Amino acid sequence: MELVGEIDLGGSQEITKRRRGEKLFHSANISFRRQFSCSSCHPDGHIDNIVYDIEDDGLGMGPIDNRTLRGVNDMAPYKWNGVNPAFDVNAVRAWRFLSRASSHLPRSSWTIFITTSVRSATSQPLPRARADLAESQRRGKTMFERGRKNDGSTIPAERRCNTCHPPPLYTDGRLHNVGTKFAYDHTAKYDVPHLLNIYDSAPYLHNGIAWTLEEVWTKYNPYDEHGVTNDMTKDQLNDLIEYLKTL
């Protein structure tokens, strides 16, 4: 357990705020009992596809699906219940959760380093919607933007997909009740998640109860509260899902 040599990997020797933040993001030394780091739940700044119960609201209460940090700078408010209006606030509350009052790192330093690192990260940027859509994807785009049901009746604006998920970020940054509150949830309204990279973000819904995009509407939208979809044929729903995967 003694150092026997070093290998210079090159690169800048300056420890910028961003590099300091990256080290903190991957270090378990900042967490209570050194059990995990930010990157444990957010590998590559994304998700680990796991649902967590991390709040002080009672064991088993308010389970939440892990959310990606990609493009996080433009996705206010933060947390599924939208309680954090800015990323700085979100970072401070994350510090409290990680440290449990035992971390040697001052809160102010943590906020500066982490926010600088996460906000400036450029690896794996969120893509723009594809222009070269296949025929099924173009049909799906039509379903995403539709204002009428198959029988010709008008779909209320608040029940249309692109009302709550408008481009370019495919979120309106507001809280909505889409009928997905379950027994262990504290609220019925949740922050609208962006749809970018949704193909790589399973499971779905605020508590991760939907394992696939299809289940979002076939199992957990019985009353058309999460967009009007019950009149869709199987092929139409498949087309919609294929379009969403291009975002």
The predicted-structure confidence for 224-247, as pLDDT tens digits, reads as follows 999 999 999 999 999 999 999 998
Output the pLDDT for position 55. 64
Mean per-residue pLDDT, 64-74: 83
Report percent pLDDT > 90 for the chain: 42
Helical residues (DSSP H) of 42-106, grouped into ranges: 87-99
What CA–CA distance (Å, rounded) separates 159 from 57? Answer: 31
Domain 135-244, classified CATH 1.10.760.10, yes or no: yes
Is residue 100's pLDDT more than 90? Answer: no
Is residue 19's pLDDT more than 60? Answer: yes
More confident position, 97 or 77: 77
Is residue 18's pLDDT more than 60? Answer: yes
What CA–CA distance (Å, rounded) separates 1 from 70? Answer: 38
Torsion of CA 64, 70, 71, 74, to 10 degrees: 30
Strands (E), the chain: 51-52, 64-65, 175-176, 190-191
SS3 for 78?
A: strand
- Sequence spans of domains, the chain: 17-120, 135-244
Reported as a pLDDT band with limits 50, 70 and 90, residue 176 is very high
Mean per-residue pLDDT, 105-126: 61
